[in-house]
């Protein structure tokens, strides 16, 4: 979770609501309590600043701050000294204002909150991370298949380096041990198939890499296998080659089971793209160079 601890992360996740259409929102009154504001009137001033920031950013307020009203019971004074403090007269109710807040609205609120509050700093981290994730997801979803492949393949390259380091720290020293470790992960995810089996199944030439001939869905399944194995090796301080190999197989198998439970296609049954990622990359670089020649940068003299 980086600098945001799981406890603080869950604090904000716990008050998130999901609409029937899958959309998410937070209620301002609940966020007020979570951010340790004891009085609504003080928190409403923060909301006002956030609304102004939203408007000045060019966004539609109605998309991020949806005003709703609620009928709540109002506590009344006890009629006798013997009655408990906090007596509620069911005949006394009041309409109060609340807001259904988007993730971006919450981000603006914590950015305008009291910086002296530690929970505000945690909120800034949480909503910044979530907002960035959504931005990345929105951008990714607009890409065509080949560009999705390029993005995920790039992520796998980085995470494979981290996985290799975690494996070394777990006690995998030789290249032979690491090859067995890698095969274990593939076997778990691909129902017993190792790298050579997958290579044959994809009908690839000797020097072609299986990761270069995966679609975005298959790549994403492998990225999840890699990230979760790396995390588990570090989190549980797993030691010994046998334990590390068993962990990689188990994680791969868990990812496979999740795909099955969701009704997805097993990775070995997904189609193999005609072009390798390396070829797609070369073609796109060539296209960039062609455009640069066609439209040279005009400099002021």
Query: Left if phi > 0, otherwise alpha if psi is -120 to 50, otherwise beta: which for 216?
Result: alpha
Q: Report helix, strand or coil for 94.
A: strand
Q: What pLDDT shows up at residue 243?
A: 96
Report how far residue 233's alpha carbon sits from residue 45's, in angstroms, rounded to the nearest whole number: 46
Alpha helices in the chain (DSSP H): 6-13, 28-34, 40-56, 61-64, 103-111, 118-141, 145-170, 175-189, 195-201, 216-235, 241-261, 277-294
Q: What is the mean pLDDT of the chain?
A: 85
Burial degree of 215 (CB within 10 A; 0-12, 13-18, 19+): middle
Q: Closest Cα partner for 43 from 55, 61, 52, 31?
A: 31
The pTM (predicted TM-score) of the whole model is 0.59
Q: Residue 239 — pLDDT band, cuts 50, 70, 90?
A: very high
Report how far residue 83's alpha carbon sits from residue 272's, in angstroms, rounded to the nearest whole number: 74
Residue 122 near residue 4 (C-beta atoms within 8 A): yes
Name which of 55-64, 215-224, 257-266 the model is least confident about: 55-64
Residue 224 near residue 248 (C-beta atoms within 8 A): no
Q: What pLDDT shows up at residue 293?
A: 66
Integer CA distances (angstroms), 151 to 156, 208, 288, in order:
9, 19, 17
Q: Residue 223 — pLDDT band, cuts 50, 70, 90?
A: very high
What residues have CB less than 8 Å from 146, skipping those under 6 apart? 273, 275, 280
pLDDT in tens, 179-195: 999 999 999 999 999 99
More confident residue, 16 or 93: 16
pLDDT in tens, 160-184: 999 999 999 999 989 999 999 999 9
């Amino acid at each position: 979770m980086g600098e945001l601890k799981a406890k603080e992360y869950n604090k904000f996740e716990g008050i998130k609501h999901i609409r029937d259409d899958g959309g998410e929102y937070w209620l301002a009154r609940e966020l007020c309590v979570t951010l340790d504001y004891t009085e609504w009137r003080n928190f409403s001033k923060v909301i006002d600043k956030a609304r102004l920031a939203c408007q000045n950013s060019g966004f539609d307020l109605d998309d991020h701050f949806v005003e709703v009203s609620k009928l709540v019971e109002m506590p009344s004074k006890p009629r006798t000294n013997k009655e408990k403090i906090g007596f509620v007269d069911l005949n006394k109710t009041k309409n109060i204002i609340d807001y259904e807040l988007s993730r971006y609205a919450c981000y603006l609120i914590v950015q305008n909150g009291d910086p002296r509050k530690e929970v505000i700093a945690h909120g800034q981290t949480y909503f910044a991370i979530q907002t960035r994730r959504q931005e990345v997801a929105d951008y990714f979803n607009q890409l065509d298949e080949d560009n999705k492949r390029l993005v995920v393949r790039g992520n796998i390259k980085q995470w494979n380096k981290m996985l290799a380091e975690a494996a070394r720290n777990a006690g995998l020293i030789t290249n032979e041990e690491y090859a067995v470790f890698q095969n274990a992960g593939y076997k778990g995810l691909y129902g017993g198939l190792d790298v050579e089996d997958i290579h044959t199944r994809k009908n690839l030439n000797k020097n072609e890499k299986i990761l270069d001939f995966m679609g975005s869905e298959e790549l994403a399944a492998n990225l999840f296998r890699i990230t979760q194995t790396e995390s588990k090796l570090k989190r549980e301080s797993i030691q010994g080659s046998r334990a590390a190999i068993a962990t990689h197989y188990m994680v791969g198998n868990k990812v496979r089971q999740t795909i099955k439970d969701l009704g997805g296609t097993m990775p070995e049954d997904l189609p193999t793209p005609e072009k390798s990622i390396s070829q797609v990359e070369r073609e796109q670089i060539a296209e960039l160079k062609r455009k640069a020649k066609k439209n040279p940068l005009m400099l002021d003299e």
